[in-house]
Amino acid sequence: MRATWLEIDLGRLAANYRRLAGQLGPKTRVIGVVKANAYGHGAVPVAKRLLELGAARLAVATAGEGAELRRAGIEAPIHLLGSLHPDEAEDALKADLVPTLATLEAARALSALRPGATVHVKVDTGMGRVGVPPDDLADFLAEVEAMGIEVEGILTHFAVADEDPALTRAQLARFLAAVRPLKKRYLLHAANSAAVLAGIGTDLDFVRPGIALYGLPPDQSLTSELSPILRWKAKATLVKTLPAGHGVGYGLTWKARGGETLATLPFGYADGFHRALSNRGFVRLGREYLPVVGRVSMDQTTVLLKTPPPPDAVFEVVTADFDPRTSLTGRARALGTINYELATALSPRLPRRYI
């Protein structure tokens, strides 16, 4: 056990899941997005809980992530998001994943390995990243189905669901216009968290929420009806005072005036506490905000206290709220990034405790 760890509240995960499920049409089911180690929260325990809560399927970003879930005994369908690269086809099939298909090269690689492989085809309705253009969809489907590939579903992804509902509805309309003329009935899905919360695309066959399951708002606003499910805690490895003029950390960028109480905490940027928080970030102890002093190093961070802490004090590195200084969402804003990036940066080497 390290003296720093993450606590993940699976009860709050359930509350967020129910909040999202309450938005859905009667036949719409959830694909729980657990890529990037469930956005840093730990893929296997989160995936298992989501399935218990009623999620029909899961989604990951790499075949390796899918294989990890299979090794843990998960049997539910697992989607491989993105756009399958031919190099990943074999591993995707080995882990029994449902690849997302958007190129003929990937289709050929799949059919060479396993005729009859099941896929979902991605349409680009405006994101401009991956996907078949809507006008090419019918021809693309005909070509891949002629290779023997089983196209079970068709999806698209929204580019601005968190900021522009009108444009998102236009993307959905483009998607529906592209699939309407098709002769076969495919399973359809489009909505990410922001779209689910906005009620856009919530009556197709599936929705694909990620960030909101973890209680983090997709639009980066500080208030939300969601509950963050993760806390990051730490105990001090050393509490000390330094004489006037003594520097702290690489580069000696902070100097003691003399007599201040400092605590050295056992985590650093390799754990996902960004180096940009050097001389700028905060952790919390009770109601007090303790500023980071000196540079954040790979494995250690130093903070300034007003008074000596009680023995075995537990410092909160990330709070499960929307605090502008210590929550994932607030800190992301302060750093000019998004909560997605801070959550997925939480290193696998941090122990995770589930409550």
Ligand X SMILES: Cc1ncc(COP(=O)(O)O)c(C=O)c1O
Q: Which residues are catalytic?
A: 35, 250
Tokens of residue 185, six digits: 């009935």
Task: Provide the 8-state DSSP code for 140.
Answer: H
Neighbours of 235 (CB within 10 A): 17
Considering the complex, what minimum distance in angstroms separates the CB of residue 225 from ligand X? 15
Rounded to whole angstroms, the Cα distance separating 211 from 203 reads 20
Rounded to whole angstroms, the Cα distance separating 78 from 76 reads 6
Between 155 and 236, name the residue whose CB sits nearer to ligand X. Answer: 155
Considering the complex, what minimum distance in angstroms separates the CB of residue 81 from ligand X? 4
The residue number whose beta carbon is nearest to ligand X equals 210
Between 66 and 210, name the residue whose CB sits nearer to ligand X. Answer: 210
Using DSSP's 3-state secondary structure scheme, residue 127 falls into coil
Binding site for ligand X (CB under 6 A): 33, 81, 157, 192-194, 208-212, 218
Between 172 and 211, name the residue whose CB sits nearer to ligand X. Answer: 211
Considering the complex, what minimum distance in angstroms separates the CB of residue 19 from ligand X? 13
Residues linked to residue 32 through DSSP beta bridges, in sequence order = 58
For residue 157, give Cα distances in angstroms to 160, 175, 294: 10, 10, 42
Counting every residue written for the chain, the total comes to 355
Rounded to whole angstroms, the Cα distance separating 3 from 275 reads 20
Between 190 and 265, name the residue whose CB sits nearer to ligand X. Answer: 190
Considering the complex, what minimum distance in angstroms separates the CB of residue 134 from ligand X? 17
Considering the complex, what minimum distance in angstroms separates the CB of residue 185 from ligand X? 22
Between 13 and 211, name the residue whose CB sits nearer to ligand X. Answer: 211
Q: What is the spatial order of strands in the sheet that 352-354 belongs to?
A: 288-291, 282-285, 314-318, 230-235, 4-8, 352-354
